[in-house]
Copies of this chain bind each other. A is one copy, B any other.
Amino acid sequence: MNIGIIGLGLIGGSISLGLRKSNFGDKFIGTDSNQENALHAVKLGIVDEIIPLQDLIMQSSVIVLSIPVDGIDKILQNILDKISNNTVILDTGSTKYDICNRILSHPKRSRFVATHPIAGIENSGPISAHSDLFYQKKCIICDSELSAPDAMSVVTKIYSIMKMRMIYMTSKEHDLYIAYISHLPHVVSFALASTVLTKFKNEEKIFNNMMGSGLDSTTRLAKSKPETWLPIFIANRKNMIQAINSYIDHLNKFRNHLINKEFIKIDRYMKKANDIKYKR
């Protein structure tokens, strides 16, 4: 069984390594629009061979589509047009509604399984890929009733091998929830980095000297790649605007308490936020 990986970055690379480690699949073939990534992926043992996209589509029993969400949206239809009735294709994009909606009435819709393994980190590229990236993390599978049972079974097997826990919901629910759980934290972090970099523009030395662990964790996501994140923000634009507005409301509330010296209210605000401790 040939496994075809389209996009040999962090996610595609880690799926490939995870599956190889468990001896799932025979030959791993890959393609990446970035030639350097493609060469690295072969050197790192992520795939056996780099082949052109159209050949990969024809030769793979399972196709993993792990490129930015605008790319997925662009080529998925074309891939479905060409695959056999037995091929299974899954994507790993961070937004799901547009992607699922575009192919809703495609005659081969049932060969596709829409997934989102929640495991991204700020690092990227095949060099960051590792076989345990997904260990004990969550994978959201969307609109699973539109996928064929045999396709679902292959995909759940793939994620089970990598010890992921699967969660099922509609693509619409996914995009709303993930706007708060993942996309908003990225905006929060980009905006914080932007604020402090602006503040210390002319005091770089002081900034480098003072940088401490609090800012490290909150600006970790601000190191993420615009190539990945801009398409996500565009695809999930409406939910994102809602989430950012809600966040600004919460910030304004805190700021106004501070302005009005309503310190008991700030204490209560922090105590409620502390509940995040108990979430997992």
- Do residues A138 and B209 form an inter-chain contact, with CB atoms below 8 A? yes
CB distance from A220 to the nearest CB of B (A): 5
- Do residues B250 and A195 form an inter-chain contact, with CB atoms below 8 A? yes
- Do residues B270 and A226 form an inter-chain contact, with CB atoms below 8 A? yes
Stretch of A10-18, A29-37, A174-182 lying at the B interface: A174-182
User: How far is B212's CA from A182's CA once the two chains are assembled, in angstroms?
Assistant: 7
- Do residues B178 and A251 form an inter-chain contact, with CB atoms below 8 A? no
- Do residues A186 and B212 form an inter-chain contact, with CB atoms below 8 A? no
- Do residues A213 and B121 form an inter-chain contact, with CB atoms below 8 A? yes
Complex interface: chain B residues within 8 A of A207 (CB): 177, 181, 279
- Do residues A273 and B222 form an inter-chain contact, with CB atoms below 8 A? yes
Q: How many copies does the complex hold?
A: 2
CB distance from A257 to the nearest CB of B (A): 9
- Do residues A192 and B247 form an inter-chain contact, with CB atoms below 8 A? yes
User: How far is B191's CA from A246's CA once the two chains are assembled, in angstroms?
Assistant: 10
User: How far is B271's CA from A181's CA once the two chains are assembled, in angstroms?
Assistant: 22
Quick one: which of A148-186 are within 8 Å of B by CB? 165, 167, 169, 177-178, 180-182, 184-186
Q: Quick check: is A272 within 8 A (CB to CB) of the other chain?
A: yes
Q: Quick check: is A147 within 8 A (CB to CB) of the other chain?
A: no
Complex interface: chain B residues within 8 A of A250 (CB): 191-192, 194-195, 198
Stretch of A38-46, A49-57, A59-67, A261-269 lying at the B interface: A261-269
Sorting the interface of chain A by its residue count into under 10, 10 to 19, 20 to 34 or 35 or more gives 35 or more
Complex interface: chain B residues within 8 A of A195 (CB): 180, 184, 243, 246-247, 250
Chain B residue nearest to A182 in the complex (CB): B214
- Do residues A181 and B244 form an inter-chain contact, with CB atoms below 8 A? no
Q: Quick check: is A27 within 8 A (CB to CB) of the other chain?
A: no
User: How far is B271's CA from A109's CA once the two chains are assembled, in angstroms?
Assistant: 36
User: How far is B218's CA from A229's CA once the two chains are assembled, in angstroms?
Assistant: 17
CB distance from A173 to the nearest CB of B (A): 8
Q: Quick check: is A102 within 8 A (CB to CB) of the other chain?
A: no
Complex interface: chain B residues within 8 A of A266 (CB): 230, 233
CB distance from A84 to the nearest CB of B (A): 34
Given A181-B214, A217-B218, A254-B187, A263–B248 Cβ distance below 8 Å? no
Q: Quick check: is A252 within 8 A (CB to CB) of the other chain?
A: yes
- Do residues A251 and B247 form an inter-chain contact, with CB atoms below 8 A? yes
CB 8 Å contact bits of A209-233 with B (1 = contact, 0 = none): 1111111011111111010011001
- Do residues B237 and A244 form an inter-chain contact, with CB atoms below 8 A? no
Residue from the list B119, B221, B252 in contact with A218, Cβ < 8 A: B221
